[in-house]
Every structure is written in C-alpha cells, then in structure tokens.
Amino acid sequence: MKYVDEYRKRDLILSIAEKLKTISKKEIVLMEVCGGHTMAIHRFGLNSLLPENIHLISGPGCPVCVSSQHFIDLALAFSRIPGVIITTYGDLIRVPGSSTSLEKERAAGSDIRIIYSVLEAVEIARQNPGKKIIFPGIGFETTAPATGAAIIKARLENVSNFFVLSAHKVMPPVMKALVEDGVKINGFIAPGHVTAITGISAYNDLASLYSLGVVATGFEPVDIMQAVLMLVSQIESGTPKVEVQYRRVINNDGNRIAQKILREVFDYRDDLWRGLGMIPGSGLRITDEFSSFDAEKQFSIEVPRSTEPKGCICGEILRGLKTPVECSLFANKCIPSDPVGACMVSGEGTCATYYKYRS
Amino acid sequence: MHDLIESVFIKHFSNNILDNQNDAAIIPSASADIAFTTDSFVIDPLFFPGGNIGKLAVCGTVNDLAVSGAEPLYLSVSFIIEEGFRIDELEKIAESIASEAQKAGVSIVTGDTKVVNRGKCDKLFINTSGIGSIRKENLHISKAINIIPGDIIIINGMIGDHGMAVMNARESFNFNMPLESDCTSLNHLISAILNRSPVKFMRDPTRGGVAAVLNELSGKTGIGIEIDEPALPVSKSVKAICEILGLDPLHVANEGKVLIVASEDCAKDILEVMKNYEYGKDCAIIGRVVSDHPGRVVLRNNTGGGRILDTLSGDQLPRIC
Amino acid sequence: MCLAIPAKVISVDGASAKVSIEDIEYTASLLLLDDVKPGDFIMLHAGFGIEKVDPVRAAETLELLNEMKKYRTH
C-alpha cells in the first residue's frame, strides 16, 4: 500500500534505532496521547528497539476509552426510547456504562448499528423517516469535523430525524492539564491526524511555557521512530520546540475547511474524561444554531450522574503516576472482556497491555 | 410442511437412504471408528459473496470431520424457518447444500424442518450433524499429542477472506471489494495430505481466526508457538480492509482453511499436495513450535521483535482510534 | 481519531470522490477538502478525506531516512 509500506521497512526502522543508540544519553520520558500511537508501538514492537534510557508512556489518547460512564449511560437511555436507532462507531459499543453496554443492549434487542462513516447515519435517517437516528459523537479534532459536516449536510437536505450526542473532545487542554498536574515528561509524541486538522499553533504553549518538546507524528513505525529521534535530539541539545515529523500530511496551519466547520457547529465546554475527571474547555458541544440536531436538547432524558467505580485508579495510570499492578481491580474485577476503567477498555490501553503480558 | 419437504428438500437431496424418510437413518456398518459432529448456523446475512448459509452448513460440518482425521460420509440437515421466509431463497439455499454435499462426496440422509412464527427466529437457522469414519492411525490428530519444538505450522491459503466478506455484506459500510468468502469443503485436500504424509494436529480456524486455534493449541498442550508475521498469507483486499477498519486478520473467521502441525521433514510433502488444489495454492509455513514461552503464542514482526498474540474475548470491532 | 489510510483518488464528483485502497473502492466524502484531483492521495478517516498526502514531502522524508541508513554499522 502506497504511503504505508515504505514507512514500515525493516532497514529504515533499524537504522533509526541504531542512530538513537548513539545520540541518546539522558533518561528521557516521552508521552504519546493517541490510541493510534499506542497501537502502532505495540503492534510493531517499537519499545524493544529503543535504548533503555528512553521511556514511552501512554497518555489519555483514546477518545473511546476516555468517554465517561455518564455519556454511555445517556446513549443507553436513548437506545431504549421506542423508535430510536443508535448508529455508532464500532469502538464504542463495548465501553461499559454503570450497568450495561451498547453491545449488551444490542444483544437484548435494541436497534444499535455499527457504522464506518457518520454519513451512513444521515442516510439511515433519510431511509427511515419514522425513526429517530442518534449518533454518539466520539473522537478528537480528527473526527469532530466529520460530525460537523454531517450536521450541516443534514440541515441542507432537510433530514430532521438525525441527532448527535456529542462527546467530542479536544487534545491540547488535556496535554496542558497533565503537565500542570505534575506529570514528569520531557516531551510529547503529538497525534499526527489531530494536528493535520488543528495545525501546530495548538502546541506552542507546551513548548514555550513548559519547555517540552512536541513532535507531531505519523502512525507508521518509521514515523514514530523518527519522531523519537527528533525529540531526543531536541532534549539532548536542550532546545525543546514544536516540530512536525508527519510532513507528508500536516500543513503547519492545519485544515482550514475543517477548522471552519468546527467553529460553525461546535463550542468549547468543560468535559468529563473517564479516569481524569472534569477538564476545562476540553469538550465540544453543538452550538445553539444547530440545536435541532443536538440529541441532548431534543430529548428530555435524565440520567443520574454516576461516580467512577471505587478502586479504579485509571486517572493515575493515564498520567503515568502508577502502574496497573498497583490497582486493586486489575486482573480480577477489571479484565479485558469486562473492563471497568479506560485503561482496560481499549485493547491497547496500558492495563490491557499489562494484562496480556502478565505471568 | 410435507409439500415443503418434498418440493424443496427431497427434490435436491434425494438418495436411497433419505428417500426412506425414516426417523433415524440406518448407516451400513463400518469397520472403523465413527466420528460424529454437529454445528448450527445462524449467520447474518444469509447470502454473502462466495456463498450462503447452506453452503456454509455443509462445509462447516464436513470440515470439522475432515480436520479430525475422519472421512466425512453422512450429514443430517435441520431447518428452523421463520414464517414468511421466501421460497425462492430457500430453494437457492437447498441447491447450494446439495451442490456442496455432492462436491464433498457426502450424502444427506436425514433431516428436519420446523416453521416458527415471525420474530421467533432470525429468518433461517440450520443445524447440520455429520458422521465420518476414522482410521486408527488418524485418531491422534485431534488430540494434539507428541507435538515438540521444531514442528512446523502450515496453512493452506489466505486468511481473513470469509469474515471480511461477510462483514462487508452485513454492514452499511459500502466498500466495493472483490472479496469472497473462502467457504469450501476441505476433505479431499486433507485426505490427499494424509495419504502422503503423517500430521500431528489439524484444526480449521473458523470463529476467532488463526489466533484462536493457536491459543487453544498452546493452552491445551503447554507448547510455545512462534508465528512469522511476514509469512502469513493475506490477500491485498483483506490487508487493506483490515487497515481501514483497524482489524487484525489473525482474529478473522475463515471457512476454507486448515492449520496443520507436522514435523519439519514433512513440510515439503504437505505443501506439494496443497499446491495441487485451487484452495491450497497460497499455502505457507507460518510458524513453528518452540521451547520458549510455553503456553504462549508470539508473533514475530519484520524487525524480529515479538508480541504476544492473544485470543479476543468477543468479535473484533471496526475502530476509528 | 487516529486511524486513517492513504487512498488514491480515482474520480471526483462534487463533494465526494471514488477512491481506491489496493483493490478496494470507496466513495469518500470531500466535505473537508478542496482542490482534490484524480491521482491525488487523501488520508481516509471514518469515510472522510481529512487531508491530502504531499508526494514531495513524502519523498523528502524517505530520502532523509535513506541517507541515515547509509551510516549503519551493521
């Protein structure tokens, strides 16, 4: 596959690994904040290629994993309304709410369908005028513009039975919050596709205020290795800054059209992240102009606020402060097929990975 | 009901045992052990590129017998049909069953049909049970004994075709791809292999894919297994659709694949036999039994790094992240 | 959020494009892009093109890395 295979070549990966060994002296901690990076590092075994003084930790980068229990409970409540079809990205249906999940409800008979593109939801709405189609919107700045575009299209085409329950979140406030919280890292491997939308100015504060290196990175093993090399070079020379590794996709200014759609359809709000709590300005809500597509405004559903399950220390794990084995729920009450917290929900979350390697 | 049986099932399955339409089929006595299996098929959608529930029902049961080292002989086929199910679709499915049974060389000797009210079953469920005869020298094949480090693992072709073809047919994703289920009866291939070479273990990687079978094997026997990721035969289409949806072909269902464990010196013969068959032409050695990491399956990638290959607890789901 | 794949544009029809990834074809939405032409590669995420792939920069990245390869000691 073009633009994929070239960045998986063995000799390139190994030559970067070798270069790293020669220039990397300091103990360095780098955090990636993207499920796609966690997956790629695991899938291509990149950790084992890095010298021992470079540590990669996973931050709260999977929008699915950090969806709060409350959001899932809301989606579940919607699915029980007669005449509602829930159309969702696949990753969401196993995420646990306070007592059940979309997957379990589907097995029990609720009309819950997996889609690949949000436009399928608009189409399902068009074909089922007597039903109400609700789309739980998850994802960061990479995915939110698609939701925004779908809402605009639905309005243009008078599809009035399509609704979005927004749990879209944005990255930079969380990266900042982690650092302000005292997470000890030297740099960020920043999410390449988020940056393709936002542009790099979103990270300037991190570099200038906190002296952290930030490299916007692609998702193939060569990309990640090159980004580590760039970060290590910055840190070894004491010049932390914002750089782009993923030059073939990222323009420094980002995607203007997508940014315009985000501004038109969404406003920022404080949002609840599973395991991290409330982070100011980290969520996207639908603006009043498009409120007729906002599921929260169009349906009066009350769902009791739930507390995070007792004993769950995902927050500390996501910040790199604790490891899964220090969690009392790990591998007994919280397992991959029946996860409690964010870190176990994703197949490549910190806890899920530890679980796989347990002895 | 009688008309249905006569006009659809007897019409297609007729043979001198079935035509008696007794409650139990009397099978002429065999001098070998009998292998007996049963399976139910509830697939959605009923029709998919490369097959349908009927073809699947025959292949699934024939293959369960064949990978146990048995020669498949007789099948029963039972239908649970939702009221209102279209006769023309039922005919098509019955035709497929008959055609696949003939290809496999098995007879359908008994069966049952029930029609249930709308909503009581999802269009059509099929159960097939199968009987085969198994020679004494093949009894060890399903038991996974005497497997030692150095033994190799072979598969007869590309992985992931069935699961991805069915997923694309079922969901509204709208990918246009030349991908068909690999659904086929494997008994002729397996019989040819057993005539040529001893094998230590066989299984068909259906639900849960190759990963599930390898983990079952290593879990049951305590052996370590190492899989060579670059050696896995995967079609361009499956590779691409898995990259798009974030899926791993190793966990995707197959319906025309057999995994064989054999001693290394048998590899050449087994591969040679496989290459004579259309559904064996992409055969490959995909890994080996090792003395390291007992009870674990490890996947080695192109840089020599390894990661543990687990079974998944549920179906794989397309992801965006 | 992160999962996107390079897809080749076969034809453009208003706000959609027929794209191919190996031998898979898909009708992708171009609502987030402009100035997309047949032959371009776009990053396909959740059914949408989210950015174009710049072939020149792609080649530059590989060239830089291939240079590094020359100095491998083994």
Structural domains of chain A, ranges and CATH numbers in brackets: 1-307 (3.40.50.11740), 314-356 (no CATH)
- Residue B252 pLDDT grade (very low, low, confident, very high; cuts 50, 70, 90): very high
pLDDT at B318 over 60: yes
Q: Would you state the pLDDT for residue B268?
A: 97
| Residue spans in chain B of domains classed CATH 3.30.1330.10 | 2-138
pLDDT at C71 over 80: no
pLDDT at C74 over 60: no
Q: Would you state the pLDDT for residue B1?
A: 66
Q: Are A13 and B303 in contact (CB under 8 A)?
A: yes
Domain B2-138 in CATH: superfamily?
PurM-like, N-terminal domain (3.30.1330.10)
pLDDT at B26 over 80: no
Class level of CATH domain B152-308: alpha beta
Q: Would you state the pLDDT for residue C24?
A: 97
- Residue C4 pLDDT grade (very low, low, confident, very high; cuts 50, 70, 90): very high
- Is B174 an interface residue toward C (CB < 8 Å)? yes
Q: Would you state the pLDDT for residue A75?
A: 94
- Is C2 an interface residue toward B (CB < 8 Å)? yes
pLDDT at B28 over 80: no
- Residue B6 pLDDT grade (very low, low, confident, very high; cuts 50, 70, 90): confident
> Any idea which fold C5-69 has?
SH3 type barrels. (2.30.30)
Please list, in sequence order, all residues whose beta carbon lies within 8 angstroms of the beta carbon of residue A295, skipping any fewer than 6 positions away.
Answer: A78, A134, A163, A164, A165
Closest CA to A188 of A144, A236, A234, A143: A234
Cis omega before residue B45 (within 30°)?
yes
Q: Would you state the pLDDT for residue A1?
A: 93
Judged by CB atoms closer than 8 Å, whether chains meet at C3 and A36 is answered as yes
pLDDT at B316 over 70: yes
Helical residues (DSSP H) of B160-266, grouped into ranges: 161-170, 187-196, 209-221, 236-245
Higher pLDDT, A64 or C55: C55
Question: Burial letters for A34-55: b for 16+ Cβ neighbours within 10 Å, e otherwise?
Answer: bbbbbbbbbbbbbeebbeeebe
pLDDT at B52 over 80: yes
Closest approach of B139 to chain A, Cα-based (Å): 34
Judged by CB atoms closer than 8 Å, whether chains meet at C23 and B178 is answered as yes
Q: Would you state the pLDDT for residue C68?
A: 84
Residue A295 one-letter amino acid: A
Q: Where are the beta strands (DSSP E) in chain B?
A: 33-41, 47-48, 51-52, 70-82, 107-116, 124-134, 152-155, 201-203, 224-228, 259-262, 284-290, 297-300, 306-308
Q: Would you state the pLDDT for residue A88?
A: 96
Nearest to C4 among A89, A145, A193 (CB): A193
For A130-162, what is the HEC assignment? CCEEEEEECCCCCCHHHHHHHHHHHHHCCCCCE
ipTM of the complex, rounded to two decimals: 0.95
Sites in chain A below the pLDDT cut of 50? 359
Closest CA to C45 of A146, B316, A341: A146
Separation CA A222–CA B140 (nearest Å): 46
Residues from chain A that touch C6, judged by Cβ atoms under 8 A, are: 1-4
| Residue spans in chain B of domains classed CATH 3.90.650.10 | 152-308
Residues from chain B that touch A126, judged by Cβ atoms under 8 A, are: none
Residue A61 one-letter amino acid: G
- Is B171 an interface residue toward C (CB < 8 Å)? no
Sign of CA dihedral C5, C6, C9, C10: negative
Range scoring the smallest mean pLDDT among A218-227, B31-40, B143-152, B266-275: B31-40
Separation CA A132–CA C34 (nearest Å): 32
Q: Would you state the pLDDT for residue A274?
A: 79
pLDDT at B107 over 90: yes
- Is C20 an interface residue toward B (CB < 8 Å)? no
Average model confidence (pLDDT) across chain B: 93
Judged by CB atoms closer than 8 Å, whether chains meet at A90 and B245 is answered as yes
pTM above 0.90, yes or no: yes
Q: Are B282 and B233 in contact (CB under 8 A)?
A: yes
What is the tens place of the pLDDT at every residue in A304-345? Answer: 887 767 888 887 887 777 888 889 999 888 988 888 877 787
Q: Would you state the pLDDT for residue A304?
A: 85
